[in-house]
Structures are given as C-alpha cells and as structure tokens.
Amino acid sequence: MLYFSLSVLFTVALYLVMRAFPRYKVDSFHAVVFNYYACVLTGLLLTPDLHLFEKITWHNEGTWITLALGGMFVVTFMLIGLTAQKVSVTATSLAGNMSLVIPVLFGLFVFKNNNKAFTLINYAGLVFAVVALALGAIQSTKKDSPINSAAPAHLLLILPVFTFLAAGTNNTLINYLSVKYYAPGETTLFMIIACSGAILIGSAILLFRILTRGEQVHWRSVVGGLILGVPNFLSLYFLLLALASFGNSAAFVFPIYNILTMLVSACAAWLIYREKLNHLNKFGLLLAVVAIIMISYQELGL
C-alpha cells in the first residue's frame, strides 16, 4: 500500500498547489504547460539508467500513442477549465470523479487484468464508490451557481460529457500502454515520453495564443508550473507502480485511488483552507470508507 499512499499524497499536493494559483495570480494554463517541463526533469532524475532512452524507437506504434496520451493530458486540462468556467465547478468535479467508470469497465471486461475474481460484494463496492465520489463533489447551490449563466444550453451537457470521456480515456490509456508497450522497469521512460507529448502540444497551443491573442507569460506562471510539475509527475509515477503491484487491475486500483484522494483532499482542505463540508459531503466520505472495505476486503483479510 506504500505506492497507493505516496500516489494519493502527491495528488493531494498537486491539488493544493493549484488551489493556491489564484492567490499568487498564476495563469493556470501557462502553469500547466511549464509543469510538463518539470515533469520531464523529475523523470530524468528518477531514471536509474539514462541509456534506456537509446532504446526508444520513435516510429514505433507504442511511442506515438504515448506521445498522443501526452497531448490528451493538455486537452483534458483545457476541457476541465472550460467546464468549470462555463458550467460549474461541481459539474467538473463530478465528470472527473465519475470518469473512473471507463478504466474500471475496460479493466473488468476488455483487458481482463484483474488481480482477483470479483465477488458481488466487490461489484457493490464499485457502485458505492461512484455514489460516494458524486456525493463528495456536490456543493451548495449558492456557492456553485454557473459562472456563466448565459452559456448556451448545449454546453451544459456537452462540456461535462467531453471532460468525462477525456479523463476516462487518459486513465484507460495509462493502464493499457504501461502493460502492452513498457516493461516494469520502464515506468519513468513511459511517463517522460508522455510528458514530452504534452510539452509539444501544450507549447504549440501556448505559442498560438501568444501570437494571436497577445498573451503574456508572467514569471509567476513559470515558477508555479515548475513547482506543480514535481507532485504531478510523482503522483502518476506512484500510481503506475501501484497498478503494477496489483496486477494492473484498474477495477481495484482506480476506485480506491480516487476515494483515498477525495478523503485526504477533504482533510487537507479543511486543515489548510478551512473548507467546510455539507451533509452530503460527509455522508459521501463515510460511504467512501465503506466502499474501500467492500472493494478490498479480501486483501484486508476480512
């Protein structure tokens, strides 16, 4: 469970860093682009043998798909930002949390790489996990009214759906690519290639916006992005190690990872920012604990 714990802690650190961006006037998109440069540097520091890069076949199908995954990282971030701005923060959080359904279904019925035979209790735990994550995202109506009330009606449906599909596709590709194209000792190699794809796509979009919109990149956004890149890389790095340690079972790993992240994030937000939970949030956290027990009761020896 060490990899699980480290992945969750770095994911929460990632959220807390992004939570501080508005206070320091950091442009989120600019920071995310530069964060991938820090991701690559972090990956290089964690790579035990840099000669691994000599083995990369750039015209290989797996390499191209991994680069495309990096592009998906950037696209997903842009969708998350648009959904939060045009629809609501709650819709964004719900879409992101519910996206775990996609890798779970692929893991159970397509890849069939489960670390155990799932029982009725395990399946019920998956359902409870989805409900718990939904309850954990619900905010009061007053606080979470749409930021752009004049947004076209179709955006209220299309943007959350696209965010849901993009986030779910990312997690599914991460699981698939790490198993099919990369050996267990090539975790950092896989991530560096993916982050390189994100750098290419993100930098191209940023350059386009600078040339066409006259956007200016402030040093705060560069520094914020470089700080963000370290927990961002490490959260995914340890998530991949957690997947490998549990037989790449997406149906087991992703629900518990999402739930633990929600639980720790709620505690951290309360301690640092004094964010309060409503009754539905509290019930969601309680249900999340029950879901974890139901999904992993065999591993817990119950």
Taking 70 as the threshold, does the pLDDT of residue 88 lie above it?
no
Q: Which CB contacts under 8 angstroms, 24+ apart, belong to 137-142?
A: 137/90, 137/93, 137/94, 137/97, 138/90, 138/94, 138/278, 138/280, 138/281, 138/284, 139/89, 139/90, 139/278, 140/278
156-168 average pLDDT score: 84
Do residues 80 and 163 lie in contact, with contact meaning Cβ atoms separated by under 8 Å?
Answer: yes
Do residues 120 and 55 lie in contact, with contact meaning Cβ atoms separated by under 8 Å?
Answer: no
Q: What is the pTM of this model?
A: 0.82
CB neighbours (10 Å) of residue 97?
A: 23
- pLDDT averaged over every residue in the chain: 84
What pLDDT, on a 0 to 100 scale, did the predictor assign at position 139? 64
**Model confidence over 90-140: pLDDT tens digits?**
667 677 777 888 888 888 888 776 667 788 998 898 888 888 877 876 766
- Local confidence band at 155 (pLDDT 50, 70, 90 cut-offs): low
60-78 average pLDDT score: 92
Do residues 133 and 258 lie in contact, with contact meaning Cβ atoms separated by under 8 Å?
Answer: yes
Q: How far is CA 115 from CA 101, 152, 168, 210, 261, in A?
A: 17, 45, 20, 48, 21
What pLDDT, on a 0 to 100 scale, did the predictor assign at position 147? 47
Q: Count the residues in the chain.
A: 302
| Nearest CA-CA partner of 137 in 180, 93, 170 | 93
Taking 50 as the threshold, does the pLDDT of residue 12 lie above it?
yes
Of residues 142 and 18, which shows the higher confidence score? 18
What pLDDT, on a 0 to 100 scale, did the predictor assign at position 217? 94
Taking 90 as the threshold, does the pLDDT of residue 268 lie above it?
no
Taking 90 as the threshold, does the pLDDT of residue 209 lie above it?
yes
What pLDDT, on a 0 to 100 scale, did the predictor assign at position 154? 63
Please tell me the distance from the alpha carbon of residue 140 to that of residue 128, in angstroms, as a whole number.
Answer: 22
What pLDDT, on a 0 to 100 scale, did the predictor assign at position 144? 46
Do residues 155 and 142 lie in contact, with contact meaning Cβ atoms separated by under 8 Å?
Answer: no
Taking 70 as the threshold, does the pLDDT of residue 179 lie above it?
yes
CB neighbours (10 Å) of residue 106?
A: 21
> Over the range 255-294, which residues count as b (16 or more CB within 10 Å of their CB) and which as e?
bbbbbbbbbbbbebbeeeeeeeeeeebebbbebbeebbeb
What pLDDT, on a 0 to 100 scale, did the predictor assign at position 297? 80
What pLDDT, on a 0 to 100 scale, did the predictor assign at position 288? 83
Q: What is the DSSP letter of 107?
A: I
Please tell me the distance from the alpha carbon of residue 182 to that of residue 69, in angstroms, as a whole number.
Answer: 14
Taking 90 as the threshold, does the pLDDT of residue 198 lie above it?
yes
> Over the range 80-95, which residues count as b (16 or more CB within 10 Å of their CB) and which as e?
bebbbebbbbbbbbbb
288-298 average pLDDT score: 84
Name the burial class of residue 112, with classes exposed (0-12), middle (13-18) and buried (19+) by CB atoms within 10 angstroms of its CB: exposed
Residues 6+ apart with CB under 8 A from 242: 3, 4, 7, 253, 257
Q: Where are the domains of the chain?
A: 2-296
What pLDDT, on a 0 to 100 scale, did the predictor assign at position 71? 93
First to last CA, the chain: 17
What pLDDT, on a 0 to 100 scale, did the predictor assign at position 150? 52
**Model confidence over 32-46: pLDDT tens digits?**
999 999 999 999 998
9-13 average pLDDT score: 91
